[in-house]
Structure 1
Amino acid sequence: MFSKTFSALLFTALASVASASPALQARQGSGLATYYDPNGGTGACGNVLQNSDFIVALGEDTWDGGSHCGQTVNVQCAYLFPPLLLMLKRVLLAPDQGNTVQVTVQDLCPGCQGANGIDLSEGAMAALDSNYINDGVISVVWSFD
């Protein structure tokens, strides 16, 4: 009796975890971050955006029809891109690995790089990578708050 009850409980618990996994995966990602200058334009969420705002434009795979507008996203610099220069940059430039910023979803990035690519405002990118103008693209890990 105990083993049947235990098996049923274990199966139910595993099924719950399995069904929750897609939701968890949709709430975080790692990919490439680029930056852009909104220059007072209106973002896809309907708000006027400035270059100094800490905002993010999500790629089409994550956009989900704008359902994330206004959500906070934590973005951490993973390493500087391109990977072939990573070793040289670590030795010579001491990249800003580990820097983290909080940004708000305010825009759509149809041209973002890769499945979890994001586009940060210039202000947010500068806070992540002090050499952002030369780097242009960095690897990041991000998650919804």
Structure 2
Amino acid sequence: MRTVLSFITLLALSVSAILASPAHHSPSKTHGARSLQNNAKRLSEGLPPLAPRRLFSAQAHHLRRDPAPSGVVTPAPFTGGFATFYFQNGNAGACGQSNPDSSLIAALPETRFGYDYSKISPECGKRIKVTNTNNGRSVTVTVADSCPTCVNANSLDLSQGAFDQIASEADGMIPITWAYL
């Protein structure tokens, strides 16, 4: 009986997570599958499933309508994202360049970077200011890669050098806001 109730609970949480997501966003296939696998594992261990979290704000994609002093519309920062870090290991990123791990670079989620790897993304080379919301530290990075495993559309994968500027590697994943410069 407990297994049936656990299955029903997991099913209800999965459906509520799908319904809570805005229709114009497609969650990362990897993250969604990982969440279901984690809950299935928790249930098999006799633990309750974790409730789904809505990790991003639909309003984060819109531009602020308050003109900057120069009359230029300033993009609103993206919120609800997380930063992780990666090692490039001498391999070229999706923008076609190999960078040392000490470079201040970032990988954008595929939903922003694009899925067509036969050409260089228009996002390549754009500069971004990333802020760790836990401690307020910021770093400016250049888009150099794509992140197919980012948690959501507002998350970034930073080079080791960039991540070290705003957090400890022991943190692993940190909450961030970011904006194009």
Q: Normalising by structure 1, what TM-score?
A: 0.67
In the TM superposition, residue 24 of structure 1 has moved relative to its aligned partner by: 2.4
Instruction: Judge conservation of contact 1:61–1:116 (CA < 8 Å) in 2.
Output: no
Where does residue 115 of structure 1 map in the other structure? Answer: 153
| Alignment counterpart, residue 36 of structure 1, candidates 78, 81, 86 | 86
- Between the aligned partners of 2:96 and 2:62, the Cα distance in structure 1 is 26
Partners of 2:61 and 2:78 within 8 A in 1: no
Q: Amino acid of the residue matched to residue 94 of structure 2?
A: A
Matching residue of 2:102: 52
Unaligned runs of 5+ in 2: 1-59, 65-74
Q: Corresponding residue for 1:94? A: none
Structure 2 residue matching 1:61: 3-state secondary structure: helix
One-letter amino acid of the structure 1 residue matched with residue 113 of structure 2: W
Residue 67 of structure 1 corresponds to which residue in structure 2? 122
Name the % identity: 37
Structure-2 residue corresponding to 1:127: 165
Quote how far apart the aligned CAs of 1:115 are.
2.1
- Supply the AA of the counterpart residue of 1:122: Q
Contact residue 52 and residue 123 of structure 1 kept, 8 A: yes
Change (3 A) 1:27 1:109: farther
* Higher RCO (C-alpha 8 Å, min separation 6): 1
Pairwise CA RMSD: 2.0
**Residue 22 of structure 1: how far off its partner (Å):** 5.6
- Please give the alpha-carbon distance, in whole angstroms, between the structure 1 residues aligned to 2:139 and 2:145: 17
One-letter code aligned to 2:133: A
Q: Which residue of 2 aligns with 1:139?
A: 175
Query: Comparing both structures, which one devotes a greater share of its residues to helix?
Result: 1
Which residue number corresponds to residue 5 of structure 2? none
Cα distance in 2 between the residues matched to 1:36 and 1:139: 16
Q: Do the aligned residues in 2 keep the contact of 1:41 with 1:50 (CA within 8 Å)? A: no
Using the size of structure 2 for normalisation, the TM-score is: 0.54
For the residues of structure 1 that align with 2:145 and 2:110, how far apart are their CA atoms? 10
Residue of 90, 114, 132 corresponding to 1:77: 132
Which runs of 4 or more aligned residues in structure 1 lie more than 2 Å from their structure 2 counterparts after TM superposition? 21-28
